[in-house]
Structure 1
Amino acid sequence: MRTLDQFPAAEVVNPDNWIGVKQFAAMQRMKPQTVYNLRDTGGNLPPIHRRAGSTRIMFFVPQVREWMNDPKSFITTTPPSPPPPADSHATDARSVRL
């Protein structure tokens, strides 16, 4: 993956080439807090940038595109629970007669 200084200066300065956490989270169909949690735990995210003196996290759109096209970039969360067994309706509280 290219570093920020390898991009043309016009691309770096253009505000349309930057997205914040909310926009990135919306693209990935997750909550913004999940992005912060992944950042804190070393999760698989595209490179994160901060402007000098700012705490705001920004993503550079060309790097996000590269990251999205990389097959190893899929964000993994807790796997879904397996479906209940076929006879689970017998133990369901709604089906128990009193």
Structure 2
Amino acid sequence: MAIDPDADIDHGAPLTPYRQLAEILRARIARGDWAPGRAIASETQLVQQYGIARTTVRRAIAVLVDAGEVFTVPQRGTFVATVDEDEAADEG
């Protein structure tokens, strides 16, 4: 499912808000808003930007962590995972 990286959360949509946010963040990473190894927006910034609860933001980030697309560092933030050279070669 491709979501516009500039989309807003649609509370009336069939897809839950945390899944929508996960897809938006995934699209923003793919677009290059955040480079591999760099921090994405903080939970507080995402709460303010999308008008959703912190728990919703945390669930969305957990989806991306489970997919291996980002990783969290306690008290530092959430960072874009670097593409493994072997995986990139397998995909190409």
Indicate whether the TM-score tops 0.5: no
TM-score normalised by the chain length of structure 1: 0.30
TM-score normalised by the chain length of structure 2: 0.31
Larger radius of gyration between Structure 1 and Structure 2: 1
Which one scores higher on RCO, CA 8 angstroms, separation ≥ 6? 2
